[in-house]
Amino acid sequence: MLHIRFLARRIVGNELLQSRLRSAGPATNLPQRQLQFSAFLSKRRKTAEEKHAVEFAPKKKNKPQTSGVVDIWRNMTVADLARSCQLELEHIQEVMLYVKGAGSIDATARLEDPKVIKDIAAKCGLKTKIVAAPVDESEEVLKDRDVVPRPPPAPENLKERPPVVTVMGHVDHGKTTLLDSLRGASVAAGEAGGITQHIGAFTVELDNGERVTFLDTPGHAAFSAMRARGANLTDIIVLVVAAEDGVMEQTKEVLRLAKEQSVPIIVAINKIDKPGADVERVKKELSQHGIALEGYGGDTIAVGISALHGTNLDELTEAVSTQATLMGLKGEYVGPVEGVVVESKIDSHRGKLSTAIVSRGTLRKGAILVSGQAWAKVRGLFDHAGQPISAVTPGMPVEILGWRELPLAGDMILEVESERVASSVLRWRANQAMKEKALSDAEAISLKRKEHEEQYREERDKSRRSGFYRRKQQGPRQKEAAPDDGKPRINVIVKGDVHGSVEAILDVLETYDDNERCRLDVIHYAVGDVNESDLELARLFDAIIYAFSVNVGSKATKGVTIRPVDIIYRLVDDLKKEINTKLPLVDVEEEIGEANVLQLFDINEGRRKVTVLGCRCTKGLLKKAHKYKVKRNGELLADELSLESMRHLKNEVDSVKKDVECGLRLNDQTLELKAGDTIVCYQINREPQQTEWDPGF
């Protein structure tokens, strides 16, 4: 049926063609008519193809209407918002006058808070959708660059901020107890051994309504780097000195740090209620170390307190508030965030966290931060009690969640526009770090290259002298034949709860100087709980894992030595014991007795003439089986001698007591002894060695 229809259409088409040709004119114009006919067919074919494409094209789904939905992003300018809303700039500026927290209506002013941007769009009758900041495709490819702090702020942008007060002092002088009394919590009981081993940062609201950020730094000798960071962050130092101890070693270190950083000091003389407390003596000692106290020719405030019972804490807080008012502390609350990392750690449930203090700008969730060679997209902000907060202003401490890599304590935090910029900054910094390392290693590389060149020339000259057929290397290769030096070795893996603790442990281990007898190698260190890779590394290197205040977990630990510790000096004591077990036993002489030579007797033993010493035991006990040495006027003549015979009267004996005369015959008859010489009986004991390592505490 389809074939018949096709033939019918073709016949009708031919008849139509013939009629058109007849009406076109005489046969003399045949080529022209053929051209016209070809154009006609081409046009008809094109029309049919277009019709077919329209009829049989796939049906497209209608896109949802997006009218009334505008794209917004963080830190967009007022002009950007006007363009995104497709409204006049003047219209947006007029609407901003009726939105709380909108800030400046200048076209270049940045809108940091997405909530404010949503309110502006809502008053314009529009809905919003948060997107990434657009990238101008016309710009050149972003080159790697660093980010630096902003220039000093304009005076009109500054507002009052809470002071950052660091509580410092010697160990066990009551720093943490003082802070417990101020904030009404008990932290000292939770510290291992009562010693603070982290920098704690939190905000306290005083009775007068003012807010103060306190830092509690460790007083132990091993945490000097952490105390130095506390001095760098602080506006005011509260120096805690125990009234019965006075100025101690860490107290002097705090005074030196405060002088270097030009930080004002308020002295809190603690434990005034204890027996033996002498406040006046403490003040005199402080004056001798350069602290000009009130009443001693200076203006430094000194307050006698009892942190345990809360005595005179009101006077101390009033002194802190007065000092902060006199300093006129202010900060800029707008613009990109700047801050400092106080401490960093890995939480088994929440991941990588850092405690920081914001020094400039307002930190909110979603910000992109860069610190050293780490970056973060902030996923959460928490206060010292673990409660989530929405915004962090200058002078406030905060715990930041969202780090891709763990930042180092003491590094500066800077906010950047986008993740793209953060990646660029990290690439630039990594490149700079590689260049600096290359420069620092250049001298060592040059010396090593020179040594290799000298060795190569020496081997080449030797090969030339020996001839072609003797150039083949004799024996095994040097690397395969290199013998073990035989020295005992201890490999250590350090895992800590926070970066500061790991840093302090490594500083202590660097003081180890007994490598001649036993090597101490740190093969790995990190922040966080003990994981499977640590266990595999410990098995591979036969290492000891020191888990400093971290969880070991329930993983298979067979064949691995794990030492959980929570106080640094206990870690050092355990490591000393381990080193002592590795040291070989040494020979130690123990003197058993002494005898004076009274007279020499020459006797014949067969055909052999021998000398017998007539002696009297003057000290201890003489034993025939032990070794002997001879002294004359306190100088050693011979040692490692043995006895062939020991007689009392005519009897051969094994030992002689004090004040008993005896006859001794030495195995070495070549010695020319005299009356008055001293014979010393001694034995060799194998005793364990003790390491001489002293980390200073």
Q: Are residues 102 and 189 in the same domain?
A: no
Residues in the chain, overall count: 697
In 3D space, the residue among 485, 166, 173 whose CA is nearest the CA of residue 305 turns out to be 173
Per the model's pLDDT, the better-predicted residue between 428 and 220 turns out to be 428
pLDDT band at 40 (very low <50, low <70, confident <90, very high): low
Lowest mean pLDDT across 247-256, 468-477, 544-553, 641-650: 468-477
In angstroms and rounded to an integer, the radius of gyration of the C-alpha atoms of the chain is 44
CATH of residue 288's domain is 3.40.50.300
Residue 193 has pLDDT above 80, yes or no: no
- Do residues 574 and 553 touch, judged by C-beta distance below 8 A? no
Q: In terms of domains, do 109 and 169 share one? A: no
The two structure tokens encoding residue 145: 């660059």
Shared-domain flag, residues 504 and 553:
yes
Answer whether residue 697 shows pLDDT above 60: no
pLDDT > 90 fraction of the chain, expressed in percent and rounded: 16
**Which of the listed ranges 143-147, 290-294, 415-419, 554-558 does the model predict with the highest average pLDDT?**
415-419
Instruction: Tell which residue, 486, 490, 516, 686, has the closest CA to residue 577.
Output: 490
Residue 74 identity (one-letter amino acid): R
On whether the CB atoms of residues 293 and 280 are closer than 8 A, the answer is no
| Same domain assignment for residues 174 and 309 | yes
Question: Mean of the pLDDT values across residues 5-28?
Answer: 46
Cα–Cα separations (whole angstroms), residue 540 to 83, 192, 534, 556, 579: 62, 32, 10, 15, 20
pLDDT in the model for residue 232: 65
509 and 401, same domain (yes or no): no
C-alpha distances in Å from residue 682, one per residue of 77, 206, 630, 657, 678:
92, 74, 11, 14, 13
Give the structural domain span for 667.
586-688
Mean pLDDT, rounded, for 522-540: 88
pLDDT of the residue at 653: 93
Q: Note whether residue 338 is domain-resident.
A: no
Of 155, 161, 102, 93, the closest CA to residue 124 belongs to 93
- On whether both 246 and 260 belong to a single domain, the answer is yes
**Statement to judge: residues 615 and 547 lie in one domain:** no
Q: SS3 for 376?
A: strand
State pLDDT tens for residues 91-111: 998 888 888 888 778 888 888
Q: Is the pLDDT score of 486 beyond 70?
A: no
* pLDDT at 198 exceeding the cut of 90: no
Domain membership of residue 381 (yes or no) is: yes
SS3 call for 438: helix
Same domain, 192 and 324: yes
User: What pLDDT does 375 receive?
Assistant: 93
Q: What is the CATH number of the domain that holds 671?
A: 2.40.30.10
Q: Residue written as tokens 């090593």? A: 448
Minimum mean pLDDT range among 183-192, 319-328, 630-639: 183-192
pLDDT class of 657 with cuts at 50, 70, 90:
very high
Whether 143 has a pLDDT exceeding 70, the answer reads no
**Among the three residues 515, 550, 583, which one is the final residue of a domain in this structure?**
583
Instruction: Name the DSSP class of 171.
Output: T
Report, as an integer, the average pLDDT of 556-582.
84
In a domain, residue 240? The reply is yes
* Cα 420 from Cα 306, distance rounded (Å): 53
Q: How confident is the model at residue 30 (pLDDT cuts 50, 70, 90)?
A: very low
Question: Is the model's pLDDT at 618 over the cut of 70?
Answer: yes
- Residue 656's pLDDT is what? 94
Considering only 174-183, 266-275, 327-336, 406-415, which range has the smallest mean pLDDT? Answer: 174-183
Mean pLDDT in residue range 599-620: 89
pLDDT band at 485 (very low <50, low <70, confident <90, very high): low
Contact at 8 Å (CB) between 425 and 431? no
Last residue of a domain, one of 583, 614, 640: 583
Q: What is the 3-state secondary structure (H, E, C) of 64-83?
A: CCCCCEEEECCCEEHHHHHH
pLDDT tens profile 44-76: 565 555 555 444 444 433 333 345 689 898 888
604 & 638 share domain = yes
Q: Is the four-CA dihedral 173, 176, 177, 181 of positive or negative sign?
A: positive
pTM here is 0.60
Contact between 264 and 236 under an 8 Å Cβ cutoff? The reply is yes
Q: Residue 35: which pLDDT band, with cuts at 50, 70 and 90? A: low
pLDDT at 1 over 50: no
* Most distant pair of Cα atoms in the chain: their distance: 170
Segment 300-320, tens digit of pLDDT: 888 888 888 878 888 888 888
Per-residue tokens: 670: 């070549």
State residue 218's pLDDT score.
58
The domain boundary residue, chosen from 380, 409, 424? 424
- Higher-pLDDT residue of 606, 482: 606
Assigned domain for 451 exists:
no
Predicted confidence at residue 452, as pLDDT, reads 86
The answer to whether position 324 is within a domain reads yes
Split into its structural domains, the chain has a count of: 5
Residues 119 and 193 in one domain: no
Q: Which residues pair with 415 in a beta bridge?
A: 369
| pLDDT of 216 strictly over 50 | yes
Beta-strand relationship, 519-527 and 489-496: parallel
Residue 311 is assigned to a structural domain of this protein: yes
What is the pLDDT, as a whole number, of residue 231?
52
Q: How far apart are CA 456 and CA 449, in angstroms?
A: 10
Residues 493 and 549 reside in one and the same domain:
yes
pLDDT for 627 equals: 93
pLDDT, position 655: 93
Asked whether the predicted pLDDT for residue 579 surpasses 70, the reply is yes
> In the predicted model, is pLDDT for residue 646 greater than 90?
yes
Tell me the pLDDT tens digit for each residue of 71-92: 898 888 899 999 999 889 999 9
Q: Is 207 in the same domain as 304?
A: yes
Instruction: Please give the full DSSP string across 41-65, using - where no structure is assigned.
Output: HHHHHHHHHHHHHHHHSPPPPPPPP
Is residue 656 within 8 Å of 613, Cβ to Cβ?
no
Looking at residue 514, which CATH number applies to its domain?
Answer: 3.40.50.10050
**The predicted structure's pLDDT at residue 188:** 41
User: How many Cα atoms within 13 Å fall on the side-chain side of residue 60?
Assistant: 5
Residue with more model confidence, 279 or 195: 279
Residue 111 lies in a domain: yes
Q: What percent of the chain has pLDDT over 70?
A: 80
> Nearest to residue 198, comparing CAs of 543, 497, 597, 570?
497
User: Residue 614: which residues within 8 A CB-CB, separation 6 or more?
Assistant: 597, 598, 599, 600, 601, 661, 663
Residue 555 maps to a domain: yes
